[in-house]
Amino acid sequence: MVLAGGPDRERTVSLQSGIEVVEALRQGGHDVELRDVMPGDLSALGEWARWPGDVIFPVLHGPWGEGGPLQRELEARRIPFVGCTAHAADLCMDKYRTKIELTRHGLPTPPSQLITGTTPLTFNPPLVIKPPREGSSIDLCICHDTDHARATHRKLMLEHTSLLVERYIVGKEVTVGIIGGPSGDQALPPIRIIPSTGFYDYEAKYTRDDTRYILDPLEIGIPAATLDAVRDLALQAHEVLGCRHMSRVDFMIDQQDQPWILEVNTIPGFTSHSLLPKAAAHAGLPMPNLVDRLVRLACGN
């Protein structure tokens, strides 16, 4: 059973991902049902038990569906499911706690500050301000001057109880997918992301068709040694944060070719624009094979 939708702000993307996963699983020969779930309506889980199903594939994006609450419910019911445990999901959804853990293990991540209430900004622009528990670049803002930073701080504090302020890294944006397999976790080919305007925001990720995704190492414009380092760092981040089955690790590569880990996504998107399926296909694992591998991992096969 594929679970999608949910109450979070990425609901539309989740529903799109769910449809794609269902189609790919059916192509792989699986008997599949797609269900929408909400915190107040988990009837799908009772339906799954009566079916009976073998495994649940959550394809939700956002704090409730990806960040631990749904995973805790699945664990309490002892239902096998694709993706991270509730503990790892909660940790990775919180970008600030993720950065603390990465730093504790010596992995590079941009310096940051968590601000609440009237906490003053201590970083000088350029800087990034974003909610610590949202995805898809929702409410993320890059501020290049002090006035913009202060105005953004005031505006976002009206909508969020805390904000993550991070040093802005000028450079190239890269993402690396991680998937499990018979011989252990595997880092997929890095993808360089080049949005046509501004930065890689929600529209560039899901609605625009002019964002460029480069996988060819000869065209990516990043030294081979740096690409190797990025894949190694992605594997390390996946491991130290306790991820399982899959994740996607986002990076900025600065002008000195130093990689910086921005965040780790435990349920990457599966839409036609999404990056984990693109990288897997480039590595010879098309979507039906990818999702088949993930459900078999969750079943212990």
- Token duo for residue 204: 């560039």
As a whole number, mean pLDDT of residues 78-103 equals 97
Unique residue bearing structure tokens 């990025």: 230
Provide the residue ranges of all domains of the chain, joining segments of one domain with +: 2-83, 91-108+170-299, 112-167
Strand pairing report for 127-130 and 141-143: antiparallel
Q: Name which of 9-13, 42-46, 261-265 the model is least confident about.
A: 9-13
Asked if the model's pLDDT at residue 286 lies above 90, the reply is yes
pLDDT of residue 219: 93
pLDDT of residue 97: 96
DSSP string for the chain: -EEE--SSTTHHHHHHHHHHHHHHHHHTT----EEE-BTTB-HHHHHHHHTT-S-BEE---STTTTSSHHHHHHHHTT--BSS--HHHHHHHHSHHHHHHHHHHTT-----EEEEETTPPP-SPSSEEEE-TT--TTTT-EEE-SHHHHHHHHHHHHTT-SEEEEEEPPPEEEEEEEEE--TTS-EEPPPEEEE-SSSSS-HHHHHT-S--EEE--TTTS-S-HHHHHHHHHHHHHHHHHTT--SEEEEEEEEETTS-EEEEEEESS---STT-HHHHHHHHTT--HHHHHHHHHHHHHT-
pLDDT of residue 160: 86
pLDDT of residue 66: 95
As a whole number, mean pLDDT of residues 267-280 equals 92
Confidence of residue 95 (pLDDT cuts 50, 70, 90): very high
How would you label 158-186 residue by residue, b for 16+ Cβ within 10 Å and e otherwise?
Answer: eebebbbbbbbbebbbbbbbbbbeeeebb
Quote the Cα angle for 103-9-112, to 5°.
Answer: 20
- Token duo for residue 282: 């480039």
Q: Return d(Cα 114, Cα 166) in angstroms, integer.
A: 9
pLDDT of residue 248: 97
As a whole number, mean pLDDT of residues 75-87 equals 97
CATH number of 91-108+170-299: 3.30.470.20
Confidence of residue 101 (pLDDT cuts 50, 70, 90): very high
As a whole number, mean pLDDT of residues 59-84 equals 96
Q: What are phi and psi of 36, to 5 degrees?
A: -85, 140
Q: Return d(Cα 213, Cα 194) in angstroms, integer.
A: 6
Strand pairing report for 212-214 and 191-194: antiparallel
Asked if the model's pLDDT at residue 155 lies above 90, the reply is no
Quote the Cα angle for 21-27-31, to 5°.
Answer: 75
Q: What is the pLDDT of residues 2-13, one digit of tens each?
A: 999 999 888 999
Q: Name which of 114-118, 124-128, 200-204, 280-284 the model is least confident about.
A: 200-204
Q: What is the pLDDT of residues 168-225, one digit of tens each?
A: 999 999 999 999 988 899 999 999 999 876 655 445 454 556 788 999 988 999 999 9
Q: Return d(Cα 290, Cα 16) in angstroms, integer.
A: 17
The domain over range 2-83 is classified in CATH as 3.40.50.20: yes
Asked if the model's pLDDT at residue 137 lies above 80, the reply is no
As a whole number, mean pLDDT of residues 52-59 equals 94
The amino acid at residue 243 is C
Q: Return d(Cα 32, Cα 168) in angstroms, integer.
A: 43
Asked if the model's pLDDT at residue 46 lies above 70, the reply is yes
Question: What is the assigned CATH class of domain 112-167?
Answer: alpha beta
Confidence of residue 136 (pLDDT cuts 50, 70, 90): low
Which residues are catalytically annotated?
A: 10, 136, 206, 248, 250, 263, 265, 269
| Cis peptide upstream of residue 52 (ω within 30 degrees of 0) | yes
pTM of the model: 0.91
pLDDT of residue 152: 87
As a whole number, mean pLDDT of residues 136-161 equals 84
Confidence of residue 159 (pLDDT cuts 50, 70, 90): confident
Q: Name which of 14-18, 79-83, 147-151, 219-223 the model is least confident about.
A: 147-151
Unique residue bearing structure tokens 């930073």: 149
Q: Return d(Cα 163, Cα 165) in angstroms, integer.
A: 6
Q: Return d(Cα 145, Cα 105) in angstroms, integer.
A: 32
